Structure formats: C-alpha cells, structure tokens
Amino acid sequence: MDLTYTPEQEAFRAEVRDWLASNVPSQPLASFDTEAGFAAHRDWERTLAAGNWGMVTWPEAFGGRACDLIQWLIFEEEYYRAGAPGRVNQNGIFLLGPTLMEYGSEEQKARFLPAMASGDEIWAQGWSEPNAGSDMAAIRCRADRDGDDYVINGQKIWSTRAVFADWVFGLFRTDPNSERHHGLSKILVPLSAEGVTVRPIQQLNGLPGFAEIFFDDVRVPVFNLLGEEGAGWQIAMATAGFERGLMLRSPARFQQATRRLVDLYRAHSTDILDPSVEDDVVRCYMDAEAYTLSTYQTASRLLKGGSIGPEASCNKIFWSELDLRIHETALRILGPRGEVEPGSPADRDELGTWLDGFLFAQSGPIYAGTNEIQRNIIAERVLGMPRR
C-alpha cells in the first residue's frame, strides 16, 4: 500500500489543472437539455477533444491519451474542481465507449469512437420501454433481420439526451420467438434515420432531458449490431456495470459538491438554528471521502488485474443516496432562500444551483436500475440470499 502520487501523477495533475484554468468557460453554460445549451456543450466537447482531453483513458488512436485509472481519477478531480461543464456525451463516452472497446469490431471502433471523443456524434440511451422498466427483460421493441439490414419497430422511453442527440444505442429483440433475456441484441441507430420519431418528455425541472423514441420500419445495416446477435443482455449488463460504477459517477463530483457544501455552511453558519445541520455537512463530506477511497481501492485492484463484480451495485446505492443527502443538507442551510430557481435575477449568489442539483438528485436512486433492484442484487449475488 502506497497512498502517495508518483511525480508523474503529480505532473499529470498539474498539466490538467493548467489546461482547464485557461480553457474552462468563465460563465456556466446553459443546460444541455436546451437547444442552445446542447450546442454550447457540444462545442465544449470539441474544445476538450482539440486538447486531447475528450476521453483520456482511451487509446491514442481513438482520440485518447491511454491514461490508467488513477490518472482518470486525477483528471476527474481536476475537472470538477475547475467547475468545467457537464459531459453532454456521457452516454457515449462513459457507457457505450467502454462497451464498444470490449465487444466492438475494429471497424466499429474506428467508425464510432473518434466521433464520440470529438463530440461530433452525441449519444442517447434506449433501454426502457413502457412495459420494461425495472423488468428490463420484458423488452418488446423488435429488430428483424432483412438481408443486410435490421428493420426496427417499437418504442423506447426515458431516453436520456435523445431530444438533441445524433445516435441512440439500445437493446432490441432480434429473435421474435425469444423470451426474457434471450434473443436480445445491442444495436446502434442514427436518430436521423427515416421512421424515427422523438417525442420530448419534460423532466421535474421543466426541461426535455429525456424522450420517447418511436421506431416505424427503421432500417439500419447489420454493421450496427454490437457483439453477437442474441448476446445483448450480457453486453447490456456490462454497460450497466459501467453506469453504476466508477466511470459515470467518479468520486470527484461528490468531493467537489461536499467542498462547496462546507463553504456554503461556513458562509451561512450564523443563520442556522438547527444544530443537526453541521453534523450532516460533516457526514456528507466524510461519505464523499469514503466513496473516493473506495474508488481508489477499486482502481488499484483493477490495475493489478482484478475485476468489478456485483459490488458495483453498492456504488450505485451509495453515491445516489449521498447525492440526495448533500442537496437536502444544502437546502436546509438555505431555508426559504433555497426555493429560488437558478438564473433568477434576484439570486445574485447563484444559490439556485443547489435547487437544480436537488431536483436532479431525485433521479439518482431511480435510473441505472432502481436502488431497490440494486439491493436485491446485493442480497442475492453478493450475500447469497435466496431468490425465492
């Protein structure tokens, strides 16, 4: 055990910090769930890509820097510390990217990864259907083989970023006689294809953060099949592992949020009457630290050839419930001032960002598999409790 950064890691941190200091926009960008904000975030992805910072863990051939996981954590720490914009292409770079790297053909990697890292192609997710939510194996959206094409019919829902994105990846039933997790395949579909209709859904904050997607005889070439036909479930589980685990929710996000929470507490401590607030502020900070330590431990283990198993479900529960507690505590500090939406002219201290984060935090225990499903996974696959 050696919990010090090497001189190379320190130098890498310094390089990231310097680059971000001169490139992060001085004003926060509009939400990427607005048309203008989406475009601004795409530009930011292009800026990152121009500096080769788009996806640092990827091989150089695909626009990356071949960084290891410790460097990835350092990059993320600096990224959040600098207050850099959210990653509009997170579905692509954090979820589909690693899946392509593992299951894609060389031609598919060359076709999709560079455009993903550069922000030229931004991805939406297509898992859930109206009758396949927590029970994802109930998927009915069909992709029927017809010559060198698949013909897709059906509906997806809760597709994050789909309103403005360029592509969607999702799980489709390629064997019409199959049931449950058999006969599913992972297929990549351009949202500009004929027969695709995207209907925005307003989220709790009023913005169209996700959408329904309708497929009406949509044709895509067989080239767009990722992995073997019928192996979709297994591939989707790998993607879900990335989503629950360290790629999508690196600890830096919570470290930064809890540092801001400590600052907020200090700035308002004389107005706070509830003595339990201080305890909750400190608890949030310590839990973010615990999440960080756990992630460094996992990264160290992976670097030595270990693997992530069902304990990724612990991650999902821990960070999503921590995120809620952080924002609930912030609103308890702000009291009646916390009600005001971000961007309100009277909100000169930009306190509204806490409200924004509070609303978003409501979704954490639901998406990527609800926390109830995660607790079932932990009980059955980590602890070995009976399934029925």
Which are the catalytic amino acids?
243
Token pair of 77 as six digits: 């720490």
Would you count residue 142 as binding another protein (CB under 8 A)?
A: no
Contacts of 65 (CB under 8 A, 6+ apart): 52, 53, 56, 57, 58, 71
Would you count residue 290 as binding another protein (CB under 8 A)?
A: yes
Would you count residue 268 as binding another protein (CB under 8 A)?
A: no
Would you count residue 308 as binding another protein (CB under 8 A)?
A: no
- Judged by beta carbon, residue 165 or residue 333, the one nearer another protein is 333
Beta pairing, strands 149-160 & 167-173: unpaired
- Judged by beta carbon, residue 67 or residue 207, the one nearer another protein is 67
- Judged by beta carbon, residue 79 or residue 169, the one nearer another protein is 79
CA distance 244 to 315: 6
Q: How far is the CB of 8 from another protein (least distance, A)?
A: 10
Would you count residue 259 as binding another protein (CB under 8 A)?
A: yes
- Judged by beta carbon, residue 77 or residue 121, the one nearer another protein is 77
Would you count residue 287 as binding another protein (CB under 8 A)?
A: yes
**Angle 237-92-305 from CA coordinates, rounded to 5°:** 55
Instruction: Write out the H or E segment, with its range, that includes residue 319.
Output: helix 312-334
Instruction: Write out the H or E segment, with its range, that includes residue 291.
Output: helix 276-303
Would you count residue 77 as binding another protein (CB under 8 A)?
A: yes
CA distance 129 to 11: 47
- Judged by beta carbon, residue 202 or residue 276, the one nearer another protein is 276
DSSP of 85-129, one letter per residue?
Answer: PP-TTHIIIIIIHHHHHHH--HHHHHHHHHHHHTTSS-EEEE--B
Would you count residue 193 as binding another protein (CB under 8 A)?
A: no
Binding residue (CB under 8 A) for another protein from 62, 233, 242, 318: 318
Binding residue (CB under 8 A) for another protein from 43, 47, 67, 81: 81
- Judged by beta carbon, residue 1 or residue 273, the one nearer another protein is 1
Would you count residue 285 as binding another protein (CB under 8 A)?
A: yes
Token pair of 142 as six digits: 């069909």
Binding residue (CB under 8 A) for another protein from 311, 328, 347, 356: 311
Cα 129 from chain centroid (whole Å): 19
Q: Do the Cβ atoms of 326 and 264 come closer than 8 Å?
A: no
Would you count residue 336 as binding another protein (CB under 8 A)?
A: no
| 353-358 LR contacts (CB < 8 Å, sep 24+) | 354/264, 354/327, 354/330, 355/331, 356/205, 357/257, 357/323, 357/326, 357/327, 357/330, 358/327, 358/328, 358/330, 358/331
Choose the stretch contacting another protein; rule: CB under 8 A; options: 117-125, 155-163, 279-287, 342-350.
279-287
Q: How far is the CB of 277 from another protein (least distance, A)?
A: 12
Choose the stretch contacting another protein; rule: CB under 8 A; options: 33-41, 110-118, 127-135, 374-382.
374-382
Choose the stretch contacting another protein; rule: CB under 8 A; options: 139-147, 209-217, 236-244, 262-270.
262-270
The angle, 0 to 180 degrees and rounded to 10, between the axes of the packed helices 276-303 and 69-81 is: 150
The count of residues interacting with another protein (CB under 8 A) is 62
The amino acid occupying position 154 is G
Restricting to residues 239-258, name those near another protein by CB under 8 A.
Answer: 252, 255
**Residues of this chain that bind another protein (CB under 8 A):** 1-7, 9-11, 13-14, 17, 70, 74, 77-78, 80-81, 252, 255, 259, 262, 265-266, 278-279, 282, 285-287, 289-294, 296-297, 299-301, 303-304, 311, 314, 317-318, 372, 374-376, 378-380, 382-388
